[in-house]
Amino acid sequence: MHVPSLHWIVADDNPECNPFLTEIFQKFGLPFTHISSPMPSNYRKRYFVPRGVSNRRAALKWIKANAASGVFYFGDDDNTFDLTLFSEIRDTKIVSMFPVGLIGEFGVSAPIIEGGKVVGFFDSWPADRKFPVDMAGFAVSVEYLLQHPNATMPYKAGHEEDQFLKSLDLKMSDIEPKANNCTKVLVWHTQTVKKPKHNLKVPESIFSNLRTLLEKLVSLGVVQMGAEVSGKEVYMVVDGHKNEVTKRQVLGLS
């Protein structure tokens, strides 16, 4: 309700759209589309359930059929947003990316920036993913999506984001970093469980945007870091592989 020019697509994990929800949406006074998009029963029986895939696939199908321009973003019910995020992603030309707070053992998932370009990712679960990002960490141009009509999201838990972005034929050089060159957290993965503070063993010489981002998380009490801290050793992910976060070693400089 605070975001201008917003069309809300609500994908309902039910065989039929819940009329009670429709009534609530109408009270908000927002333009919206309510879609029935239940998960196929065979996926519900898997050990790792690909939650939300059928819903996002239904939303993508609706966008391809009904939109010609704009930007779409997968906002989940467990996210907390800074309103600045929505103004920043409006000018996305291809795919924009930005940090997501309270993710994994690093306390944040974020692109790593060098010279205004994304050169890798800071994420504690590489899993051979080219794009190890959270669902809340990127926005996509509708025009760009329409140029890739076969783009879709797989029913593969943990790899939904990566394989969707690959299906868009996205290149690292195409990514548009937001949130002040990925130094700010504008969206959080909201959690109500008690967890100890993340202790990160961080070398002195790291990419500047990552240093700035982590220092802000330290001030918020999310992590503590230092070269001598006894904790999780950090790394960056490039093409699915772990690399050290020191600028000199990653770029092969002498």
Residue type, 140: V
161 is catalytic: yes
Q: Are 142 and 69 in contact (CB under 8 A)?
A: yes
128 is in an annotated binding site: no
Q: What is the DSSP string of 22-48?
A: HHHHHHHT--EEEEE-PPPHHHHTSSS
The whole-angstrom separation of Cα 162 and Cα 160 is 6
Catalytic pick from 88, 160, 161, 176? Answer: 161
* Closest alpha carbon to 153 in 64, 54, 22: 54
The whole-angstrom separation of Cα 79 and Cα 133 is 15
CA 13 to chain centre: 21
Catalytic residue positions? 161
Q: Which residues are annotated as a binding site for Mn(2+)?
A: 78
